[in-house]
């Protein structure tokens, strides 16, 4: 590769064919293959012939940077416009030509020109208008006639709704109601007396001591001798002052209920009634007396003429008491330890008397809980289970007798 730079003071002589590298071939006597040596320098003629015949192959490094001369005139961007038209797929319809508005004058019809009642038109709009005196007088007479007719027809219209004549029956009912309220109030004031009676009853050691304290004591003397048992409570005990005392109406008669706790913390409920202005303990209701125990009723052999317990509706049926003809009831002992099954004929009066206290009402849909009741039980029909009894009648809706 030749250089374009020449120095006149220090120039390189031109290469001649006689130029040789370093030492001549005569001085080289032996070439050691293992030693490092450069190949012999080619001559100019060899270079020329090889350049003509075959091109030299190899890596060539050359600088071909073209430097553009800075021009004082700025170069403009050449823009070539392809086309200036746009092809539309759908051509819009041209807007219709605008039509000038034509105002036509129309003359007012003849029947409106000469109208007799032009009120509200033109200059009379919003002005007060006086009604005709004849029209006002006619309206007043019409209203007067309607009022007179209404007063005249009032007795005939109110005749069907006229009040009934007052008879003596309501006065009797009011007297009975007043008397019952007085008895209830008198019973409420006798709580201390009821607490003293129950204390004497619970501390008695012989049945003769309770005969004057209980209701129908003389007639129940034999029954008390067989069934009464002393409660074994100390003479130092007395019902607490905070015992609950209430009065309910059973069978049209007031009945007092004293509720509290015994010395062993068990609860008691004592029933009281009044006879000849004397407060007495209802022994049968207080002790839940029955002609048979529930254990005897469960075995199927007992006297069910007077049984006290808690009754509720159930759905237990057998072939002896099918659902089509009977209603099933669950009858639980007063101590809530024994249960028997009782049935009432759906066509009997007893079923209606019991069911109305246990079935849901039209307004209150919640079924009431168990009710205390006194029943007469019969042992029918044959083939029933030992703990299945037929209800022969309802004696009392509660344990107390009226």
Q: What is the pLDDT along the chain (402 residues), one digit of tens a residue?
A: 455 555 666 656 666 666 555 554 444 444 555 555 566 666 555 554 554 455 555 666 666 656 656 666 667 777 777 766 766 666 666 667 777 887 777 777 766 555 555 555 555 666 666 667 888 888 889 999 999 888 888 887 777 665 554 444 444 445 556 666 788 888 889 999 999 999 999 999 998 999 999 999 999 999 999 999 999 899 999 999 889 999 988 877 889 999 999 999 999 999 999 888 889 999 999 999 999 999 999 998 899 999 999 999 999 999 999 999 999 999 999 999 999 999 999 999 999 999 988 876 556 556 678 999 999 999 877 788 999 999 999 998 899 887
pLDDT at 4: 55
For residue 215, what is the DSSP state?
T
Q: What pLDDT sits at residue 207?
A: 86
Q: What is the pLDDT of residue 25?
A: 47
Question: Could you tell me the two tokens for 382?
Answer: 């044959």
- pLDDT at residue number 172: 45
Sheet order of strands, 244-250 included: 244-250, 253-261, 267-275, 278-281
Cβ atoms 280, 220 nearer than 8 A:
no
Q: Is 318 exposed, middle or buried (0-12, 13-18, 19+ CB in 10 A)?
A: middle
Residue 329 neighbours by CB distance under 10 Å: 24
Which pLDDT score is estimated for 174?
52
Q: Report the SS3 class of residue 366.
A: coil
How many angstroms separate the CA atoms of 261 and 298, rounded?
A: 30
Q: Residue 266 and residue 273: Cα distance in Å, rounded?
A: 23
Which DSSP symbol is given to 397? S
Strands 388-396 and 339-345: parallel
Q: Say how far apart CA 48 and CA 50 lie, in whole Å.
A: 6
Whole-prediction pTM value?
Answer: 0.55
**What is the reported pLDDT for 97?**
76
The per-residue pLDDT for 402 is 75
* Tokens representing residue 372 in the block: 């205390």
Tokens found for residue 159: 């005749």
User: Per-residue b/e over 40-60, b at no fewer than 16 CB within 10 Å?
Assistant: eeeeeeeeeeeeeeeeeeeee
Task: Specify the pLDDT at position 66.
Answer: 61
Q: What is the DSSP letter of 214?
A: B
Q: Return all residues near 283 (Cβ < 8 A) that are at least 6 apart.
A: 210, 214, 215, 217, 220, 224, 228, 289
Q: How many helices (H) does the chain have, and how many strands (E)?
A: 9, 9
Let me know: does 332 contact 325? Beta carbons within 8 Å: no
């Amino acid at each position: 590769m030749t250089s374009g730079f020449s120095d006149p003071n220090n120039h390189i002589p031109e290469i001649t064919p006689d130029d040789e590298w370093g030492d001549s071939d005569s001085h080289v006597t032996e070439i050691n293959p293992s030693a490092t040596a450069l190949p012999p320098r080619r001559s100019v003629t060899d270079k020329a012939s090889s350049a003509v015949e075959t091109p030299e192959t190899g890596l060539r490094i050359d600088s071909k940077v073209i430097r553009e001369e800075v021009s004082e005139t700025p170069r403009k961007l050449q823009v070539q416009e392809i086309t200036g038209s746009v092809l539309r797929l759908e051509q819009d319809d041209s807007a219709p030509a605008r039509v000038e508005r034509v105002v036509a004058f129309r003359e007012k019809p003849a029947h409106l020109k000469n109208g007799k009642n032009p009120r509200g038109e033109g200059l009379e709009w919003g002005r007060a208008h006086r009604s005709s005196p004849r029209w006002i007088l006619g309206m007043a007479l019409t209203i007067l006639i309607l009022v007179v007719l209404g007063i005249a027809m009032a007795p005939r219209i109110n005749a069907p709704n006229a009040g009934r004549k007052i008879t003596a029956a309501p006065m009797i009912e009011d007297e009975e109601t007043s008397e019952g309220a007085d008895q209830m109030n008198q019973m409420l004031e006798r709580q201390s007396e009821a607490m003293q009676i129950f204390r004497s009853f619970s501390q008695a050691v012989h049945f003769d001591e309770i005969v004057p304290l209980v209701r129908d004591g003389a007639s129940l003397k034999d029954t008390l001798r067989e069934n009464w048992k002393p409660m074994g409570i100390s003479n130092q005990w007395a019902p607490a002052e905070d015992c609950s005392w209430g009065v309910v109406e059973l069978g049209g008669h007031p009945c007092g209920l004293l509720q509290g706790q015994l010395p062993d913390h068990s609860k008691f409920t004592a029933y009281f009634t009044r006879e000849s202005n004397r407060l007495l303990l209802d022994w049968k209701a207080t002790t839940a007396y029955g002609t048979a125990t529930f254990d005897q009723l469960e075995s199927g052999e007992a006297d069910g003429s007077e049984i006290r317990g808690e009754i509720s509706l159930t759905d237990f049926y057998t072939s002896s008491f099918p659902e089509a003809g009977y209603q099933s009831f669950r009858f639980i002992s007063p101590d809530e330890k024994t249960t028997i099954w009782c049935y009432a004929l759906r066509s009997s009066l007893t079923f209606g008397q019991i069911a109305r206290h246990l079935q849901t009402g039209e307004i209150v849909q919640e079924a009431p809980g168990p009710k205390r009741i006194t029943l007469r039980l019969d042992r029918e029909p044959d083939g029933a289970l030992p703990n299945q009894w037929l209800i022969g009648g309802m004696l009392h809706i509660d344990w107390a007798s009226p």
